[in-house]
A and B are shown apart, each in its own frame.
Chain A
Amino acid sequence: MKKPIFRLDNGTPRLLGTECKSCQHRWFPALSFGCERCGAHGEELIDREFNGTGRLLSRVEVAEETGSYTLAMIQLDDGPVLGGIIEDPDTPSAGDRLEAFGTTIDDKPGIRFRRCSG
């Protein structure tokens, strides 16, 4: 069974990752084998929940038979860089503030990104 990579906190996505206590390096998704920066492992690695807010680094339109979508690389405010799908009527551009939101994908809870509302 795959570990969940996010949870919804009253509808607000929290991304489940890891932080190294030795060097404060953070990564997503959670992996407890060892720290890529300093090699610390075991109890030095702790579960961390990251906010779904960040900044758009790059984006591309991907057209597939089932429809098209906007794929993006996002720099989270909490550190890690990750890929995600943008659902926003106005496609954001690089540097724009983004936030994750919970949605339903193939009858299962999922996450998409959009421009920050606030």
Chain B
Amino acid sequence: MAKTIKDMRPVYVIGIGLDRYQRYSERSYIEFGLIAIRAALADAGIPWPEIESFYLGTAMMGMGPGRAMIKHLGATGIPITQVENASASGSTSFRQACLDVASGLTDISMAAGVDKPALIPRADGGSPGDLIGKMLAPVHHFALLADQYREQYGVTPEQLAAVAVKNHSNGSKNPFAQRQKIRTLEEVMAPPYLSGPLNRLHCCPIGEGAAAVIVASEDAMERLKLPTKRSIRVMASASRSERLYEPGENWDVALTRETTEQAYREAGITANQLDVVELHDAFTIEEIIYTEAMGLSEEGNGGRDIAAGEFDIGGRCALSPSGGLLSMGHPIGPTGVGQIAEVVRQLRGEAGDRQQPGANTGLTHMVGIGAVCLVHILQCA
């Protein structure tokens, strides 16, 4: 009988570290990758030799960038695996590290993400050809989805823009965010538009950055006398790929719904227990449709609920308190790991002026083109 992560040994996040996401620079990935890794070790209060396996989420760095980076921490000979799963690379590296600990292969593992993806085509993609198959540049795909959603449910341009206003406001309080500027509704609705009603503030910035988290077993936490109140339990790890959906069915929504439902079942929780959610808001419309797919809003009400402030910090559930991909940024490899870091910070009560009060249960969600979806659920120990 197949098991879920909760049927195996309990896994806890014991350390988190980030380097601020930013525009492409001349820095080496080794430099800022090590900043995030050393920050995670310092946060956990353990030295590098305690790490027994290392997973690196990276999509744009070519072959084998892991050891060239971590050898500078002292080469201990541990297994290193690069994980490429498009935008979900970091989330997948986290899942692999959790599975090592849950299965008993290791007591302490690290998942990191690092990328310098500035050389990929910009989000606006370029002009489509004469006639195209289903694959469109993401900005056009999501602008078309926004139009379809508007037809079905009547979402207003103001509601769509409210997502970007909220997430930029959250990101303005996050020292690790690429965009730290508050934006007004007028700015988010102003031309020039890249596609349909979407200007650049409706689209996430793709830059460079690094994130790292450390996961551990109860054995390791006892041996190292780590404080349990700063340790956050991993309750579920769900990973799925697209099926073939019926014509006209929204496959972005369907994939997220299936993966999230699986995670809820594994964790034994329902959507209304979530206090914080970090989701894949690469484009504003995504936050609206995923909010509904996750059961946080009724179908067709996502835009209205977000615009009404229900998902602000201090609302019934804080959506993208880090600023999300829209404001914190989306450096690809690190993004999913950075989501874990934010939810852990929130559940520890260490998120400062972007703290969701009383946060006890959180969820992270990434989709990757290709197309995959990963959902993790975390809870205070």
Contacts and interface: CB of A to CB of B under 8 A. Distances in A.
Interface of A: 5-6, 15, 25, 28-29, 36-37, 57-64, 66, 71-73, 75, 79-85, 93-94, 100, 105, 108, 110-111
A62 B192 CA distance: 10
Interface stretch (B138-146, B159-167, B328-336): B138-146
A73 B148 contact: yes
**Majority-rule SS of B interface residues:** loop
A61 B148 CA distance: 13
B31 to A, nearest CB: 37
Given A6-B131, A81-B247, A58 B148 contact: yes
A29 B146 CA distance: 25
Given A36-B244, A57-B148, A75-B247, A82 B131 contact: yes
A59 B130 contact: no
A64 B294 CA distance: 35
B228 interface: no
A4 B105 CA distance: 52
A11 to B, nearest CB: 16
Given A37-B244, A61-B196, A73-B148, A83 B143 contact: no
A68 B132 CA distance: 17
A84 B132 contact: yes
A79 B247 contact: yes
A83 B136 contact: yes
Interface residues of B, number: 25
B262 to A, nearest CB: 22
Nearest to B145: A58
Contacts of A37: 244
A62 B134 contact: no
A83 B148 CA distance: 13
A64 B194 CA distance: 8
Nearest to A5: B131
A60 B132 contact: no
Interface string B7-47: 00000000000000000000000000000000000000000
Given A71-B128, A75-B247, A82 B134 contact: yes
Given A36-B244, A37-B244, A71-B128, A60 B147 contact: yes
A95 B90 CA distance: 40
B352 interface: no
Nearest to B132: A83
Nearest to B147: A58
Nearest to B139: A62
Interface string B109-149: 00000000000000000011011111010001001111110
Nearest to B133: A29
Contacts of A36: 244
